[in-house]
Chains A and B, each alone.
Chain A
Amino acid sequence: MGKYPIAEDELMTPGHLACQGCGATQAMRYALKALGQKTIVVMPACCWSVIDGPFPHTSLKVPIFHTAFETAGSVASGVKAGLEMRGDSETTVLAWAGDGGTFDIGLQALSGAAERNEDIVYCCYDNEAYMNTGIQRSSATPPGAWTTTTPRGDRKRRPKKKIIEILAAHGIPYIATASVAYPNDLIAKFQKAKGIRGTKFIHVFAPCPTGWKSAPELTVKLARLAVESRLFPLLEVENGHYKLNKDIPQKPVREYLSLQGRFSDMTEEEIQRLERDIDEFWQSLLIKENSGGLLPGITS
């Protein structure tokens, strides 16, 4: 294990309000290390609008535009347009939304921005529920999980929305998944996104000890296990071409589940169904990769 090829500069400062072991905070730190000082963050309601700190304070050394829950895609488009009008084509506009603001509430604005192929990086840091409002289920919450709105006895049954497929259907130039357990990979993907014109969507898996009922020290381990178990495969979709990271040896999903209180009620039958779903999803990704891209891409 060598040193990480990571920028020394910290664009996120300590003192922020994230819970102990917050994966979303790691994600922000790495993303800004990748994108650098010339970045504007557009942030709808999400954990991070709290983490950043109360006015007039901020934890980031780059500008943040706090905006309404459903508007990350549209405000980011507007900020980018404003910058271009002022002749600034250098600054990266980073829409930074949680799974609620992406999968549910902000999906329309995101879809609009992606359809127009706005030149923005849209990052969804996914902690699989509405965490800062009290752990309510979102369409990113996985089946079998406990949340305060899917309590014991009535846990979530519906599958997690396949957001990558939705974005792929827009034909945008770059889509990637990344995990806080693999900072080098995550940073490389943000840097790649920075160099592409058009809409870039990066889906970052960011464990939440508070909402997942897991020990804070396990954040990185859980993120790693999610990738290893193929629950959250690392992949890229470039101009419609799927590229799946197949270098990571597969591990059973059970250890991942067993380390989180939110899955403690899962039955053997549910676990086996989840294992089947994981395999089927993986197979479907392999087919897409081998077909050389089922969807028409946009070349910019």
Chain B
Amino acid sequence: MSDQKKTFRDEKEMPLSAVSATDMRWNKTGSWRNVKPYYDPKTSPCIAGCPAGENIQGYIELAKGERYEEAVRLIWQNNPFPAVCGRVCYHPCMDNCMRKEFDGSVFIPAIERFLGDYAIEQKLKEELPKERFDDKIAIVGGGPAGLSCAYFLAKRGYPVTIFEAKGNLGGVLRYGIPEYRLPKDVLDAEIERIVDLGIDVKTNTFVGKDITMEDLAEYSAYFIGVGLQRSRRLGLENEEANGVMAGLEFLEAMNSGKPVEIGKRVVVVGGGNTAMDVARSALRMGAEVTVLYRRTRAEMPAIEDEVEEAIEEGVTIRFLATPVGIITSNGNLKEIKCQEMQLGEPDESGRRRPIPKEGAYFALKTDSLLVAAGEMPDAECFQSVVSLNYGLIVADEYGRTSHEKVFAGGDIVSGAATVVNAVARGRGAAELIATEIQGGIFNPKTEKKVVAIADVNTAYFLHKRRATMPRSEGTHGNNRFAEVNLGLTCEEVQEELKRCYSCGVCDGCDNCWVFCPDVAIQREEGVYTIDYDFCKGCLICVQECPRGCLSVESEGK
């Protein structure tokens, strides 16, 4: 009850009828509550899906406000390669996007690419580290894993040296992925920005051949990220014949501008990204290309978009077929004998195992056979230092190997994986290395609460089609090696940004404040608080939050 008292001196001062004197704030309706809503920002599912853990929701929010520089710097905190990954990543972020079932996932890689390209156009530089340490770190291999590890160590102020066997940095990004998917000037620009942090680069230095690990004794720690360098062989007779070539070798020659002769008819073996890259590159050289894959499209390990684009460009894919014989004449490839396959029981990878269809053979006349049936490790030179398993270096998620000073990551640990996996492992190892050198306790894992589909209220979102990226013309003519996917314009990116729900992160939409029947939510400068003196626990705020920023707990527990 209120303490307010009103005294009337005579009748004239009194109102004509009974009039309320005080409000109802004495009545603390919070005691009615049996469940309690509370603000609980969560991780967007796109972020949870990104192996590198890029703050996708965060950079989208910044980009919406045209704060592109801040947005790209936010990406760099997790991945120094937005222009590269925006082009070549298999974008698991999009598979996780809450918009997927509504009207199609947000085109996250197109946004990432735009921001990466913005940084290149604006010639944005890294901020140099504030601290400097003396402990030198050697990075073996200048591909995505090694560059990522070097980058994150250099940003922390460690002197880093990269030892690269080939003539240039980039690894698979340079020698594996063709120009039409990843232009070299884009790659060069991102590598340059990384190296400009003060990274020492020794190219044409093959650790294990030109120098040994023992020669590098002056370093405090080592990171091995040498990738998979050997193409898997088919194990057929005549595999040494003229016209048979490893897919990686072919791509490397193409990417280094070395002349390659493949003839008019080309057969590619394999169903991964290398096979697609090989097939589409051969197509651009004017060949008629047939890909042989022993399973069906559903089992292909290649990125779905790459398969789609390859088929659109005119690559023929023969599913359920595998080469079983190479027929030559005078040491030159003439014909490939192929076996038809069918799918049997699932194997350990969960994909259905291909088994030969008895008596079903066919022959393909061809000028070249490009084998892209997988890549294999070549890490024997490290076996005196670290443990290997089936040729791969044994290391945990953060790159810790059997040797306390040696760390490893990327494909040489994971087996054939992805660019973003290599970047993530490089960064993880950098964190671990820095902590170990400082003698700290490494505790990287933080529990993430990820937004679930049930938390999102799509009633507040309008259907809006995803932007489509324009493509260059054709695989023939003068520009046939030019980039295929042309990116989005600034205006298109802005439209696409608006499609983001901003899952799990409050954007001040006011729904909770507006719909509270008990006026129990206060709003001050975009921050909401719940007044538990009055909140009755109806949970309308939780239900009507479009992006799942509130959670519920039981009262009295």
Contacts and interface: CB of A to CB of B under 8 A. Distances in A.
B540 A15 contact: no
A4 B540 CA distance: 17
Given A15-B24, A16-B24, A20-B32, A217 B539 contact: yes
Contacts of A64: 20
B230 interface: no
Interface stretch (B168-176, B216-224, B280-288, B515-523): B515-523
Nearest to B517: A25
A10 B519 contact: yes
B543 A14 contact: no
A222 B27 CA distance: 28
Given A23-B517, A53-B24, A15 B29 contact: yes
A29 B538 contact: no
Interface stretch (A55-63, A115-123, A272-280): A55-63
Contacts of B557: none
B18 A55 contact: yes
Interface string A264-287: 000000000000000000000000
A25 B518 contact: yes
A58 B537 CA distance: 22
Interface in B18-71: 18-29, 32
A3 interface: yes
Given A59-B24, A221-B459, A14 B519 contact: yes
Contacts of A22: 517, 538
Contacts of B514: 4, 6, 183
A21 B517 CA distance: 6
A14 B18 contact: no
B57 to A, nearest CB: 16
A218 B543 contact: yes
B340 interface: no
B141 interface: no
B29 A21 contact: no
Given A25-B517, A221-B543, A14 B21 contact: no
Contact of B546 (A1, A26, A29): A1
Nearest to B22: A57
B557 to A, nearest CB: 19
- B contact patch SS: loop
A175 interface: no
B24 A57 contact: yes
B542 interface: yes
Interface centre among A14, A15, A16, A216 (most CB of B within 10 A): A14
Interface string B507-540: 0111100110111100000000001011011111
B543 A16 contact: no
B147 to A, nearest CB: 41
Nearest to A64: B20
A245 to B, nearest CB: 16
B544 interface: yes
Contacts of A218: 543
Interface in B420-453: none
Nearest to A224: B459
Contacts of A57: 20-24, 26-27
A4 B511 CA distance: 8
A17 B510 contact: no
B540 A58 contact: no
B133 interface: no
B28 A15 contact: yes
A215 B25 CA distance: 26
Given A4-B514, A15-B28, A218-B543, A56 B23 contact: no
Contacts of A21: 517, 538-540
Contacts of A26: 515, 517
Contacts of A220: 515, 540, 543-544
Given A1-B460, A22-B517, A15 B509 contact: no
Contact of A58 (B20, B517, B519, B536): B20
A14 B544 contact: no
Interface string A247-270: 000000000000000000000000
Given A3-B510, A25-B518, A58-B23, A14 B540 contact: no
A63 to B, nearest CB: 8
A163 interface: no
Contacts of A23: 517
A147 to B, nearest CB: 22
A215 B538 CA distance: 8
Contact of A12 (B515, B519, B540, B542): B519
Contacts of A53: 20, 24, 27
Contacts of B534: 14-15
A14 B24 CA distance: 7
Contact of B538 (A2, A3, A217, A224): A217
Nearest to A13: B23
Nearest to A206: B517
Nearest to A53: B24
B500 to A, nearest CB: 12
A25 B518 CA distance: 8
Contacts of B25: 13-15
Nearest to B520: A14
A18 interface: yes
A10 B459 CA distance: 26
Nearest to B543: A217
Nearest to A61: B23
A92 interface: no
A224 B511 CA distance: 14
A78 to B, nearest CB: 14
B538 A56 contact: no
A133 B191 CA distance: 75
A55 B24 CA distance: 10
A219 interface: yes
B519 A56 contact: no
Contacts of B32: 20
A15 B539 contact: no
A29 B516 CA distance: 10
Interface in A16-56: 16-18, 20-23, 25-26, 29, 52-53, 55-56
Nearest to B462: A1
A22 B539 CA distance: 11
Given A15-B27, A57-B24, A57-B26, 6 more contacts: A14-B531, A15-B534, A21-B539, A53-B27, A57-B27, A58-B22
11 contacts: A3-B509, A4-B510, A12-B519, A14-B519, A16-B29, A20-B536, A22-B538, A23-B517, A58-B23, A217-B540, A221-B459
